[in-house]
Amino acid sequence: MLKILKASSKDFQSRWKKILEQRAQMGKEIEEQLEKIFLDIKKKGIKAVIKYAKLYDNFSGTEKDIKVKKSELNGAKNLLSRDEKRAIEKAKQRIEWFHKKQKPKGYRLKENGGYIRERWLALERVGIYIPAGKFPLASTVLMCAIPAKIAGVGEIVLTTPANGEVHPAILYSASLLGIDEIYKLGGAQAIFALALGASPIKKVDKIVGPGGLWASRAKVYAYKMGLVGIDTLAGPSEIAILADGSAKSELIIADIKAQLEHGEDSWAFLISTSKNLLEKVADEFRGEKANLVLIQARSKKEMIELANQIAPEHLEIMLKNPEEVLEQIYGAGAVFVGEYSPVALGDYLAGTNHCLPTGARARFESPLGVWDFMKRQSIVWMEKHIFLKLQKSCKDFARLEGLFEHARSISIRAKDLK
C-alpha cells in the first residue's frame, strides 16, 4: 500500500519540502545541448532543423516535405468519423463562447484637449507548438489558436512532431480555424526554427503551447535570448484533489489515473481528512510506480494551506460544502468543483483553457487566454497648458534623481512657452 503522509507527524514538513523540491526540478541539465542546437540552427538554418528532425523525430523527408500540403489538410476530414468531427466542432464552439468574453479593452483619460491612453494590439505572428508524441493533442490546437484568432493575430503557424503524416484530428482542428501553415517539426528544433526563422519558416513574435522537456526548455532559452515571447514553462501535468469522507473513492481514483495517463513524470496529490478514503485510494495504486502523494490533513484549513503550497495545474474540490474552500484557493491554475466537474471535462468541452501553469507557477501565472496574444501600448498626447502645469514638478523630480538632462528636456520646452 502507498504510504499516507500525516500532516500531524513531526517529520511531515521536512518530507513535504522534499516532495515539492523534487516536483520543481525540470531539465536544467540539457542547457548545453540546447545551446548547441540553437547555434547550429542560427548558422545553418533549415538544413540544421532537418538534421535534428531526423535525429530526434525520425523524420525521413527533405526540406520540401516539412510543410503540410493542402491536400493533406483538406483530406483530414475524410479520415475521422462523424462523431469525432462533431466532438471537435462542439469543443470549438464552447471554447470560442468562453474566450470571446476575455478580449480586453483599452481606455483614454482626457485632460483638457490632451489625453493619456492605453490600447491593446494583437501580435502579428504567433507560433503554436502541438505535442504529438504519445498522444496527438488536437484539443491543444483549439485551446491555443482560438484565443489567438479572437485577439486578432494576423498569422498563426503550427508545428507538431511527425515522421510522416500529421494526425488527422490535428489537421481537421486547424482547418476549422483557417490555419494552413503547419510544419512537421517537434522538439527544440521546432522552437528555434520559429524563434530565429529558418526559410521557409518565418520568425514569430511569440510561441505558445505545451510540450515535452526539450520543447519547453527551448522556449525559455529563446525567450532569454530576447527572440520571442512565450506563454509559460510547461512542466509535467499535475492534479491535486481535496476530498472529505463524502467523496466517492471511485471518482477520485478515475481522475488520478486520467492525470497520470499523461506520462510517468505526471504528479497527483490527494489531500483528505478521511483516513478511510486515503486507504482506499492507496490500495488501488498498490505496486504502481507513480508520483502519487497521499496526505491526511487535520482540518479544511490545513487542506487549503497545502493546496496553495502545491499551486497545482488542476485542483479538484470534492467536499460537502465546496464554496467555503473555493474562495480561499489562491494557488491553482484551474479549479474543478464537485463530482460532475472532472479535469477531463476541462481538457476538452467545458470551454475553459487547458493550457495551464505547472510546477507551482499557478501562484503567479494564469491559464492561456486572449490577452496572451495581445500587448498593451501606452500613448501620451499633452497640450501646452497641461505641460505647463506639470513641468515644474517634473523638473524637480528629475533633479531629485540626479538626471539633469531629463530636467533640461522639460526646461527647454517650458522656456519657449513662458
Catalytic residues: 313-314
Q: Which DSSP helix (H) or strand (E) runs through 344? A: helix 343-348
The span from the CA of 80 to the CA of 169, in Å, is 7
Any residues with CB less than 8 A from the CB of 154 and at least 6 apart, and which? 122, 123, 124, 125
Which set of grid coordinates corresponds to residue 135? 498522444
Contact 285, 213 (CB under 8 A): no
User: Helix (H, G, I), strand (E, B), or coil: what is residue 371?
Assistant: helix
What letter does residue 203 receive in the DSSP assignment? Answer: P
The one-letter code for the residue type at 392 is K
The span from the CA of 298 to the CA of 306, in Å, is 11
Q: Which DSSP helix (H) or strand (E) runs through 314? A: strand 314-318
Q: Could you give the angle at which helices 168-176 and 82-99 cross, rounded to 10 degrees? A: 50
Contact 374, 149 (CB under 8 A): no
- The residue assigned the cell 526559410 is 199
User: Helix (H, G, I), strand (E, B), or coil: what is residue 382?
Assistant: coil
Contact 76, 168 (CB under 8 A): yes
Which set of grid coordinates corresponds to residue 283? 490500495
C-alpha angle 109-113-117 in degrees, rounded to nearest 5: 30
Contact 55, 214 (CB under 8 A): no
The span from the CA of 188 to the CA of 215, in Å, is 5
User: Helix (H, G, I), strand (E, B), or coil: what is residue 67?
Assistant: strand
What letter does residue 101 receive in the DSSP assignment? Answer: G
The beta-strand segments (E) located in 20-153 are 107-111, 114-122, 125-129
For 143-197, the three-class secondary structure string (H helix, E strand, C coil) is HHHHHHHHHCCCEEEEECCCCCCCCHHHHHHHHHCCCCCEECCCHHHHHHHHHHC
Pairing of strands 229-230, 267-272: unpaired
